[in-house]
Amino acid sequence: MTVMAKPEQTNARTMVSAPAMSPTTIAKPDLISVEQAKSMDVARMTDLFKAHLNPGQLHFMKLLGFHKIKIERAEGMFYIDQNGRKILDFFGGFGSLAFGHNHPRILEARRKFQEEKRQEIAIAFMSQYAAALAHNIAKCSPGDLDMVFLGSSGSEAMEAAVKLAERAAGPKRPKIVYAENSFHGKTKGVLGITDGQLYRADFKMAENTVRIPFADIEAVERLFRSDPEVGVIVLETIQGGGGIIQAPAEYWQKLRALCDQYGVLWVADEVQCGYGRSGRFYAFEHYGVVPDVTALAKSLGAGKAAVGAMIARREIYMKAYGTPKTAMIHAMATFGGMGEACITAIEGINVLYDEGLIDNAASTGDYLLQRLQALKEKYPKIIKDVRGKGFMVGLEFHDFSQTLPMVLRPIVSVLDDKLKGSLSGFVGALLLRDYDVLVAFTEYNRNVIRLEPPLICQREHVDRFVDAFDSLLSRGIVGIVKDFVKSQVR
């Protein structure tokens, strides 16, 4: 019999060679400093934009002449470029600059917050700043719109609004109705209710949406009556990207009644038209109705912070997220309710009322519309329509062929679709080049110039803009085209 000896026990460990120690410092890449960014010239800006941001967009900036400008600073109603030129801002960042540029009270509130080293991200704790901002938003909101979700953008606020409404409507009513020419954001969820093929591209959209004409209450009623799976309808109170399109008061009042009758939740997108821009805090207040859920962004951050908010009726909110089990389904995100962003928005809302900016939007906005209507009468072959409310105004040009002499119209009319937006572009480019005035455009109706100046805009600013516009139109279409072409070959 063979006896196997038991090996001796040892406490020795098997040793392996350790890798060489990493360098104690990591080499710093070739980074640009704050001061270097500040002093960067236009040529370098263009190179970096093309290399790292959006090369295709640069094409359109060059067409309009915007690529030649470096903004050095901004104050009130004006940008100031590298040559000290003051550019009157009637663009307003698509409605993001209610207080103009660098309002002193907003700057002071942010300065104090920083000097006192207050907390920014306090996700583990309750934030006095988020709580105060939610309270202020609720106080500004009519009816029982009092539950607030804080985010960083209009798209995020609308995502929160649609998700809340869909949950509250329940799984038996999953369909969401949206309108033609709507714009609710570019993030994946709300892209399914944004009616723009450019933005939708070839992404796969949600399949629980239904598209209807905007401002057609009969279409709404037919749909509600025929399809019991409809649970939510989402509408901009004033369509921005659609070309500043409104529905009459009767539409909104009947919509509210139909939603109540059929148990459909109404989400009002006020991201662009809200926050005083229309001459009321919310545009839907003009019509004496209150939606179930709404959303704000743009100027909510007072031009210095990215802030968005969803505001819902408490009953709807609690139905969706009102228990400990459901409370975290759509709780505040990392950057929702950041300290300095919240105090910026808190101070902004106070300034909005302290300085009477909502009233100013109503009265000075009416003056702007009156002056533009007078221009429409003066240039009826060029200006097709002037419309809007407060400081949300659309100025629509005729199709290009209709602005030309009768003998040329039949020849040019076949090109109208391809030429859509060209006159708006010519006018926008020349207003900036020759008159130091900045305007905006719209996504779907390219014949529309969009005017959304800061709510601090005064009659003197309106007069300067309208006088410049009048002077430009007095050149006539042929003159405008010639001058634009010259600007492209210089």
Spell out the domain ranges in the chain.
Answer: 104-355
* Residue 410 banded pLDDT, cuts 50, 70, 90: low
* Amino acid of residue 464: R
In the predicted structure, residue 15 carries a pLDDT above the cut 70: no
What is the mean pLDDT of the segment spanning 322-343?
Answer: 92
Residue 73 Cα to chain centre, angstroms: 22
DSSP collapsed to 3 states, 334-358: CCCCCHHHHHHHHHHHHHHHHCCHH
The candidate with the shortest Cα–Cα distance to 175, out of 220, 227, 215, 214, is 227
- Mean pLDDT computed over 32-47: 94
Tell me the per-residue pLDDT of 363-397, one tens digit each, with 9 for 90 and over. 999 999 999 999 999 999 999 999 999 999 999 99
What is the reported pTM? 0.91
Per-residue model confidence as pLDDT tens digits over 111-167: 999 999 998 887 788 999 999 999 999 999 999 999 999 999 999 999 999 999 999
With bands split at pLDDT 50, 70 and 90, how would you rate the model's confidence at 23? low
Phi/psi-derived region of residue 239, left when phi > 0, alpha when psi is between -120 and 50, beta in every other case: beta
Determine the pLDDT at residue 228.
Answer: 98
Tokens found for residue 475? 């050149």
Question: Of 21, 79, 50, 150, whose CA–CA distance to 436 is shortest?
Answer: 79
Confidence of residue 22 (pLDDT cuts 50, 70, 90): low
- The rounded percent of the chain whose pLDDT value lies above 70 is 91
Question: Which residue has better confidence, 487 or 197?
Answer: 197
* Rounded average pLDDT over 211-235: 98
Exposed/middle/buried for residue 93 (C-beta within 10 Å: 0-12, 13-18, 19+): middle
* Residue 298 CB-half CA count within 13 A: 28
Mean pLDDT of 307-328: 96
pLDDT grade for 484, boundaries at 50, 70 and 90: confident
- The model's pLDDT over 62-75, given as tens digits with 9 standing for 90+, comes to 888 888 999 999 99
Top-tier CATH class for 104-355 = alpha beta
User: Tokens 């609690």, residue?
Assistant: 318
Q: What integer best gives the mean pLDDT of the chain?
A: 92
414 exposed, middle or buried (CB, 10 Å; 0-12, 13-18, 19+)? Answer: exposed
C-alpha dist (Å) from residue 48 to 57, 62, 69, 140: 13, 15, 15, 42
Residue 427 has pLDDT above 60, yes or no: yes
Q: Which of 2-6, 266-270, 408-412 has the weakest average pLDDT?
A: 2-6
Amino acid 403: pLDDT = 73
Distance between start and end Cα atoms, the chain: 106
Residue 277 has pLDDT above 90, yes or no: yes
Q: Which one-letter amino acid corresponds to residue 243?
A: G
pLDDT given for residue 19 in this prediction: 63
The pLDDT assigned to 16 comes to: 63
The pLDDT of residue 412: 63
